């Protein structure tokens, strides 16, 4: 792949590929657009990481920060390595060292797929800098996103803004950090969670799953909570179950145009990044199914990250209650605004949200003389 082919009028501004022969580490940092602030975005670890994938996700971060109107720029990093390997720490330390020119001056790492709060602590230790990575454990003064479940919490808050949830049926694809936190909050808001899934299969119960039991099992067995709970169905069943709210909160590119034509739901709230294709979004719009775009619905993490960035060198920890309140207020308002803008502009919600974000980024680029 020619990296130059990734570049358009928005970015990326910088692509840094790093490697370490001793550990076998290979990684990439993509800083997409810094017109509204320094690069900030998650860091993922997976054997399947590619430059194109990270560039695509960095662009999502550009729109996500602008979409919630917070002043950071889009960026993303990835490490092509198996996070279950016993050599994970050595690889993570090598990655941090290789990016010491960029981190934390131009980019601050965050938690994404394959990384945990302890990994954030490791990066901080390797670079001797509390500000090098967000999401460290509370014992180190960090704001533990996964423990708080800020992203999933925000997903449920968005759904509640658009639909009275009490008694409504909700299906959640994925039962990781986002899906589990979303299911928990949906239950608290009075919804009936009728389906969840993990890599091990799907659970479907029209009468409602026992979310508290599922969460307890997840605490003990992780992804194996799903088969431990009961009889599993093939993956995909959780997407096709009749429901009022569908939350794809697992992987990208899971709903194509064909599947969009089969969905039996009223509202899709995108917990994962890029779960629906452009063609699927058009199909859903024609069918009258409202879709809350990923960079609006799952922006709870960036709201929390903004608080974390503000306090990363402070001796005073951030109050989690303050963060959750801000996530609720910000995301509810943004979701309602995007739905109204889509109707006003006669476009899909994705197009409307992206246009709003682009207008904000372009205004910043013009003010700084980056474009005519």
- Quick one: DSSP state of residue 244? S
Q: Pairing relation of β-strands 107-108 and 169-173? A: unpaired
DSSP 56: H
Residue 190 is given by DSSP the state: T
What's the token pair of residue 347?
A: 């476009």
Determine whether 76 is an active site residue: yes
Nearest to 167 by CA among 202, 193, 203, 185: 193
Q: Please, which residues have CB within 8 angstroms of residue 95's CB and are 6 or more apart in sequence? A: 18, 20, 25, 27, 79
d(CA 116, CA 282): 36
DSSP string for 125-190: HHHT-GGGBS---GGGT---HHHHTHHHHHHHHHHHHHS--TT-EEEEE--SHHHHHHHHHHHHTT
Find out whether 39 and 32 touch, Cβ atoms under 8 Å.
yes
Q: How far is CA 92 from CA 28, 54, 103, 122, 125, in A?
A: 12, 17, 13, 8, 11
Cβ(224)–Cβ(231) below 8 Å: no
Q: How far is CA 90 from the centre of its chain?
A: 26
Q: Which residues are within 8 A (CB) of 160 and not within 5 positions of it... i.e. 6 or more apart?
A: 189, 332
Q: Which of 76, 88, 98, 184 is catalytic?
A: 76
Name the DSSP class of 191.
-
> Distance between CA 206 and CA 170 in Å, rounded?
10
User: Is beta strand 43-45 parallel, antiparallel or unpaired with respect to 169-173?
Assistant: unpaired
* Active site amino acids: 76
């Amino acid at each position: 792949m020619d990296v130059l082919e990734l570049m358009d009028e928005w970015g990326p501004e910088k692509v840094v590929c790093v490697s370490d022969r001793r550990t076998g580490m290979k990684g990439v940092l993509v800083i997409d657009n810094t017109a509204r602030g320094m690069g900030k975005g998650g860091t993922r670890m997976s054997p399947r990481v590619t430059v194109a994938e990270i560039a695509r996700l960095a662009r999502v971060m550009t729109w996500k920060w602008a979409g919630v109107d917070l002043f950071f720029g889009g960026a993303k990093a990835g490490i092509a390595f198996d996070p279950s390997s016993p050599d994970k720490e050595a690889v993570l330390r090598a990655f941090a060292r290789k990016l010491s020119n960029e981190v934390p001056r131009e980019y601050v790492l965050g938690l994404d797929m394959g990384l945990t709060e302890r990994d954030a602590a490791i990066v901080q230790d390797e670079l001797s800098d509390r500000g090098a990575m967000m999401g460290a454990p509370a014992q180190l003064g960090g704001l533990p996103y996964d423990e708080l479940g800020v992203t999933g919490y925000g997903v449920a808050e968005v759904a509640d803004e658009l639909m009275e949830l009490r008694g409504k049926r909700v299906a959640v694809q994925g039962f990781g950090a986002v899906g589990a936190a979303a299911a928990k909050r949906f239950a608290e808001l009075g919804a009936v969670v009728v389906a969840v899934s993990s890599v091990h299969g799907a659970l479907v119960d029209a009468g409602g799953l026992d979310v508290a039991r599922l969460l307890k099992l997840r605490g003990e067995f992780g992804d194996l909570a799903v088969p431990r709970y009961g009889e599993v169905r093939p993956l995909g069943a959780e997407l096709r179950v009749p429901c009022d709210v569908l939350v794809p909160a697992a992987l990208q590119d899971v709903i194509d145009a064909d599947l969009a034509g089969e969905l039996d739901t009223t509202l899709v709230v995108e917990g994962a990044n890029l779960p629906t294709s452009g063609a699927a979004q058009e199909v859903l719009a024609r069918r009258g199914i409202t879709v809350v775009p990923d960079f609006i619905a799952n922006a709870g993490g960036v709201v929390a990250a903004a608080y974390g960035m503000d306090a990363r060198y402070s001796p005073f920890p951030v109050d989690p209650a303050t963060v959750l309140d801000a996530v609720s207020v910000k995301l509810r308002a943004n979701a309602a605004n995007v739905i109204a803008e889509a109707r006003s502009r006669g476009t899909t919600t994705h197009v409307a949200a992206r246009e709003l974000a682009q207008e904000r980024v372009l205004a910043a680029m013009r003010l700084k003389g980056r474009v005519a």
